[in-house]
Amino acid sequence: MLQDKIKQYTGEINAFQATSAADVENYRLKFLVAKGIIKSLFEEFKTVSIEEKRTLGKELNEFKQLAEAKYSEYQSLFSGTSQEVKREEGDLTLPGTGFQMGSRHPLSLVRKEIVEIFKKLGFIVAEGPEIENDWHNFSALNFPPEHPARDMQDTFFVEKQEGNDIALRTHTSSVQVRLMEMGKPPFRAIMPGRVYRNEAISARAHCFFHQVEGLYVDENVSFADLKQTLFHFVQELYGEGTKVRFRPSYFPFTEPSAEMDISCTICKGAGCQLCKHSGWVEILGCGMVDPNVLNNCGIDSKKYSGFAFGMGIERITNLKYEIRDLRLFSENDVRFLSQFETEIV
């Protein structure tokens, strides 16, 4: 019977004592190889009744652990013999020991792809501080004093100062203000970076995430320029044939404003949980830069016009790789990250 065999071999393992590396190798060949005793016992285990499996399964697993532990004990004891070391050092024809390649984070991959698409359209990359003052984060962008985004429920304030609160930036639009303050049009730039908002963490939201915002200011810039730029971006990122639609919206720093949807890349427009069975997924907000914002930054709004847009990199990545939980991006789970190990660009 299987149970008798397990007891017999358990006693044999307990009594086993190795005096050389050869004894350890013989032990391995007898118990642990593909045609060894452990494998044969597991094959026999498949034939026993369901009632017997409930008791024998535990005993068989304990026997396997015992056999492996005994082998590990003696393997470490005899692995450093002078004979083996001499053989390893002397055979220079053996191939070298390989190492596992790492991979880029999926957010880094998508950010790089977004940057490359807009670089081909003449956009430069601009960056700014993650801790911002009230002027660059809110006031210059036409946020009125009573706007709810200024409230503690949305913003992580670092220091409350009269008329100049210091906070973790809630969007990378603050970089647009700094860019326009530093020079004269034309401006054509994208602003990738991390932003922070005081939100409950869930599969669809997080207290920190990543954005890419864009700005183009020059003479005679129109909404048609904005639409064609974003349409080209979507075709490059998701493939030709991806449908696009614009819906009227409101943002304090753009007028007119719109939200842009694309046909769901997961269900191909048929309807699924991600797109809430509508066939469409919102990926960004956009609009023509409000004249007040241009004037706040020292730019003549009667001579110059421009458009701006902003998107969450997590949302773009969700659609590109069909990832349904935002928390995976920040948990450092190797099982998740290793899925992108082929992307070593």
User: Is there a single domain that holds both residue 84 and residue 110?
Assistant: no
> Which pLDDT value is given to residue 200?
85
- pLDDT band at residue 84 under the 50/70/90 scheme: very low
- pLDDT band at residue 26 under the 50/70/90 scheme: confident
Q: Is residue 217 part of a domain?
A: yes
User: Is there a single domain that holds both residue 81 and residue 110?
Assistant: no
Would the pLDDT of 342 be above 60? no
User: Is there a single domain that holds both residue 141 and residue 8?
Assistant: no
Q: Is residue 326 part of a domain?
A: yes
Please provide the average confidence, as pLDDT, over all residues in the chain.
86
DSSP bridge pairs for 289: 254
> Which pLDDT value is given to residue 20?
85
Give the Cα separation of 43 and 30 in Å (integer). Answer: 16
User: Is there a single domain that holds both residue 256 and residue 198?
Assistant: yes
DSSP per-residue letters across 125-157: E----SEEEHHHHTGGGT--TT-GGGSTTT--E
> Which pLDDT value is given to residue 312?
93
Q: Is residue 96 part of a domain?
A: no
Structural domain that includes position 73: 2-90
Q: Is residue 98 part of a domain?
A: no
Q: Is residue 185 part of a domain?
A: yes
Q: Is the pTM of this model over 0.85?
A: no
- The mean pLDDT value for 56-78 works out to 84
Q: Among 64, 90, 116, which residue terminates a domain?
A: 90
Would the pLDDT of 83 be above 60? no
Q: Among 65, 90, 115, which residue terminates a domain?
A: 90
What confidence tens digit (pLDDT) does each residue in 35-63 have? Answer: 888 888 888 888 888 778 778 888 888 88
Give the Cα separation of 297 and 338 in Å (integer). Answer: 45
Would the pLDDT of 88 be above 90? no
Q: Among 37, 55, 90, which residue terminates a domain?
A: 90
User: Is there a single domain that holds both residue 46 and residue 151?
Assistant: no
Q: Is residue 345 part of a domain?
A: no
User: Is there a single domain that holds both residue 232 and residue 124?
Assistant: yes
**What's the Cα-to-Cα distance from 311 to each of 77, 171, 220, 315, 317, rounded to whole Å?**
58, 10, 24, 8, 11
User: Is there a single domain that holds both residue 271 and residue 194?
Assistant: yes
Within 8 A by CB and 6+ apart from 324, the residues are 203, 273, 274, 318
Number of domains in the chain: 2
Q: Is residue 95 part of a domain?
A: no
Write the CATH number for 277: 3.30.930.10
> Which pLDDT value is given to residue 49?
83
Q: Which residue has the tokens 């977004």?
A: 114
User: Is there a single domain that holds both residue 170 and residue 319?
Assistant: yes
Q: Is residue 100 part of a domain?
A: no
Would the pLDDT of 87 be above 70? no
Highest-pLDDT range among 67-81, 100-114, 210-224:
210-224
> Which pLDDT value is given to residue 194?
95
The H or E element that residue 78 is part of is helix 50-78
Encoded tokens for 344? 């070593």
Would the pLDDT of 25 be above 90? no
Give the Cα separation of 299 and 293 in Å (integer). Answer: 9
Q: Which residue has the tokens 């809430």?
A: 276
User: In 192-328, which residue ranges form alpha helices assigned H by DSSP?
Assistant: 223-238, 291-296, 313-321
> Which pLDDT value is given to residue 108?
92
User: Is there a single domain that holds both residue 70 and residue 113?
Assistant: no
Query: What SS3 state is found at 282?
Result: strand
- The mean pLDDT value for 225-247 works out to 93
> Which pLDDT value is given to residue 217?
97
Of residues 307 and 32, the one with the higher pLDDT is 307
- pLDDT band at residue 86 under the 50/70/90 scheme: very low
DSSP bridge pairs for 196: 208
